[in-house]
Amino acid sequence: MRTTHIPGTDLKPSVICLGTGGMGSSIEREASFAMLDALVAQGGNFLDSAKVYADWLPIERSSSEKTIGRWMKARKNRARIIVGTKGAHPDLKAMNIPRMSPQEIESDVDASLEHLQTDYIDLYWLHRDDPSRPAGEIIESLNVHIKAGKLRYIGCSNWRAERIRQAQAYASTHGLQGFCGDQMLWSLAAVNTAGMADKTLVAMDEPLRTYHTDSGMAAIPYSSQANGLFNKMAVGKLKESPATYRLPENEQRLARIRQLAAESGLSITQIALGYLTSQPFVTIPIVGCRNMEQLTDSLSAGDVVLSPAQVRYLETGQV
Ligand SMILES: NC(=O)c1ccc[n+]([C@@H]2O[C@H](COP(=O)([O-])OP(=O)(O)OC[C@H]3O[C@@H](n4cnc5c(N)ncnc54)[C@H](OP(=O)(O)O)[C@@H]3O)[C@@H](O)[C@H]2O)c1
């Protein structure tokens, strides 16, 4: 699998990041370890977790982070893994109340370090935004932990372009570290934002795309396979598309994927993920895989490079 470079950092992650939301919960520990081993065996080194995963289930808290911590300890590979995890998520029972005070950030950072059994986090993500709080104050809070050596780099997730601009401007005028990446909902599938159940999620839109194009900031999208939408449509496994992707445009995109697959010999997965890894700014899709078969299939996209014309064709149908 190819590796890339996150601008403004010394991080050289694999071009595909493994999402670990289900590790230690819907994917039991042994199977999680096997999938993490398989990622490394295939040249992967980049993980995405969050303190809140999978606290919606009646099991041990922070099962994803704890599973990664146990795996890194068992494999003695902490130094070779780029660990990304997220904090400052609202309480699951009060999603409309942000948790972004300096104290909440500090207690989340410390808890994640403990779960991961490490003394530093390579890339710490703010899971959500709190638009009522000045972006500069949030940057200040995070830089305290960078200076203390707990965090190496920071990123934001589900932030609007204007807020990212404010955070980056504050960081640069105050000599502080800003965000090196942004996580948003983004895949080759067209998104019906009105159908998104969680209104605190932010999908890729034109202002964000312009921001990434102009600034060169890395995009690290989640739901990068639209939850397997095109593979499922292709084999007639979907009676009805999930509301987030229920748009006639996605039928047309599947037709274009099929056309490109026929011409190139690439699989649906390789085209869907290659669309992201071939963007004009560094884009590292986070894949969520339920089993080894899906993981192997998803990682097979790690060497795919599509041309700008192919990327344009997939999205717009223009040749
Ligand atoms: N920052 C945020 O707010 C945020 C939000 C959501 C997720 N995330 C991160 O992103 C990760 C991935 O998100 P996601 O699970 O939504 O991503 P995803 O890769 O779009 O969806 C995963 C689902 O796609 C299907 N799938 C995966 N690989 C497949 C393949 N090769 N062929 C066919 N179907 C395949 C499976 O569905 P089935 O189970 O139906 O087979 C799988 O459960 C999470 O683990 C988490 O780390 C971050």
pLDDT one-digit tens code per residue, 40-76: 999 999 999 999 999 999 999 999 999 999 999 999 9
In a domain, 170, yes or no: yes
Which atom of ligand 1 approaches the CA of 48 most closely? 47
Buried b (16+ CB within 10 A) or exposed e, 101-113: eeebbbebbeebb
pLDDT of residue 83: 98
Work out the average pLDDT over 253-269: 98
* DSSP annotation string for 161-188: HHHHHHHHHHHHHTT---EEEEE-B--S
pLDDT one-digit tens code per residue, 161-220: 999 999 999 999 999 999 999 999 999 999 999 999 999 999 999 999 999 999 999 999
Work out the average pLDDT over 86-91: 98
Q: Are strands 17-19 and 46-48 parallel, antiparallel or unpaired?
A: parallel
Among candidate residues 270, 295, 220, the one with its CA nearest the CA of residue 32:
295
Provide the CATH number for the domain around residue 190.
3.20.20.100
**Tally of domains in the chain:** 1
In a domain, 79, yes or no: yes
Rounded Cα–Cα distance for residues 27 and 290 (Å) = 7
Residue pair 139/90 in contact (Cβ under 8 Å)? The answer is no
Residue 240 has pLDDT above 90, yes or no: no
Cα Dmax for the chain: 55
In a domain, 3, yes or no: no
- Nearest-CA residue for ligand 1 atom 39 is 290
- Nearest-CA residue for ligand 1 atom 24 is 227
* DSSP annotation string for 58-76: SSSTTHHHHHHHHHHHHHT
Residue pair 120/147 in contact (Cβ under 8 Å)? The answer is no
In a domain, 11, yes or no: no
Residue type, 149: G
The confidence band for 239, taking pLDDT boundaries of 50, 70 and 90, is confident
- Nearest-CA residue for ligand 1 atom 27 is 289
Among candidate residues 225, 267, 221, the one with its CA nearest the CA of residue 250:
225
Work out the average pLDDT over 257-265: 98
Residue 241 has pLDDT above 90, yes or no: no
Buried b (16+ CB within 10 A) or exposed e, 224-233: bbbebbbbbb
In a domain, 8, yes or no: no
Among candidate residues 176, 46, 23, 37, the one with its CA nearest the CA of residue 121:
46
Q: Which among 85, 125, 154, 223 is the best mutation to test ligand 1's pocket, defined by most ligand atoms within 8 Å of the CB?
A: 223
**Is any ligand 1 atom within 6 A of the Cβ of residue 250?**
no
Work out the average pLDDT over 9-30: 98
In a domain, 10, yes or no: no
Residue 77, exposed/middle/buried by CB under 10 A (0-12, 13-18, 19+)?
A: middle
Percent of the chain with pLDDT over 90: 98
pLDDT one-digit tens code per residue, 132-166: 999 999 999 999 999 999 999 999 999 999 999 99
In a domain, 156, yes or no: yes
CA distances to 87, 151, 248, 312 from 217, rounded to whole Å, are: 20, 19, 31, 21
Model pTM above 0.95: yes
The confidence band for 254, taking pLDDT boundaries of 50, 70 and 90, is very high
pLDDT of residue 312: 97
Rounded Cα–Cα distance for residues 115 and 149 (Å) = 17
What is the domain range of residue 105?
Answer: 17-316
Q: Which among 294, 296, 304 is the best mutation to test ligand 1's pocket, defined by most ligand atoms within 8 Å of the CB?
A: 294
Rounded Cα–Cα distance for residues 206 and 319 (Å) = 21
The confidence band for 260, taking pLDDT boundaries of 50, 70 and 90, is very high
Work out the average pLDDT over 92-120: 97
In a domain, 5, yes or no: no
pLDDT one-digit tens code per residue, 224-233: 999 999 999 9
**Is any ligand 1 atom within 6 A of the Cβ of residue 289?**
yes
Average pLDDT, the chain: 97
CA distances to 133, 149, 179 from 115, rounded to whole Å, are: 28, 17, 23
